[in-house]
């Protein structure tokens, strides 16, 4: 019997969670900001294509946000934890065990 291992990565998780509740964010450059809207902690692929990197402070992005069509969202950690819990619950239905790893910026 062979053991199988699955790696599940919730790509740009916080942005993806925001898009669940606001589908108008699809295909737009979106960033989610840290506590107190300090710096970017999650980037959509469209935001990455603009050259935005994780950790860049919002005050450096704000002057060009309108020009880029950049949408910034304040972090909602309660929402992200709830979505993560739901995903883990679904995954647990298909696995004897889970090893959950969280990476927080």
CATH number at residue 68: 3.40.1170
Structure confidence at residue 95 (pLDDT) = 83
Structure confidence at residue 105 (pLDDT) = 45
Instruction: Report yes or no on 1 lying in a domain.
Output: no
Instruction: Report yes or no on 17 lying in a domain.
Output: no
Three-class DSSP category at 48: helix
Is 29 within 8 Å of 46 (Cβ atoms)? yes
What is the per-residue pLDDT across 40-54, written as a single tens digit (0 to 9) for each? 999 999 999 999 999
Domain enclosing residue 67, as ranges: 28-88
Cα angle, residue 50 at apex, residues 43 and 83 outer, rounded to 5°: 15
Q: What's the gap between Cα 96 and its chain centre?
A: 27
Residues 94, 7: Cα–Cα separation, whole Å: 13
Neighbours of 37 (CB within 10 A): 16
Instruction: Report yes or no on 55 lying in a domain.
Output: yes
Tell me how many domains the chain contains.
Answer: 1
Structure confidence at residue 97 (pLDDT) = 80
Instruction: Report yes or no on 36 lying in a domain.
Output: yes
Query: What is the pTM for the complete model shown?
Result: 0.83
Instruction: Report yes or no on 8 lying in a domain.
Output: no
Stretches in the chain below the pLDDT threshold 70: 102-105
Instruction: Report yes or no on 37 lying in a domain.
Output: yes
Structure confidence at residue 69 (pLDDT) = 98
Instruction: Report yes or no on 42 lying in a domain.
Output: yes
What is the per-residue pLDDT across 16-28, written as a single tens digit (0 to 9) for each? 999 999 999 999 9
Question: What is the dihedral sign for C-alpha 66, 48, 37, 10?
Answer: positive
């Amino acid at each position: 019997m062979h053991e199988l291992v699955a790696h599940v990565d919730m790509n740009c998780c916080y942005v993806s969670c925001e898009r669940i509740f606001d589908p108008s964010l699809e295909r737009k450059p979106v960033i989610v900001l840290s506590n107190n809207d300090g710096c970017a902690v999650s980037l959509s692929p469209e935001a990455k294509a603009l050259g935005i990197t994780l950790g860049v402070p919002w005050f450096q992005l704000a002057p060009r946000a309108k020009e880029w069509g950049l949408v910034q969202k304040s972090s909602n950690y309660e929402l992200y934890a709830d979505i993560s819990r739901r995903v883990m619950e679904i995954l647990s239905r298909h696995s004897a065990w889970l090893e959950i790893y969280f990476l927080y910026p």
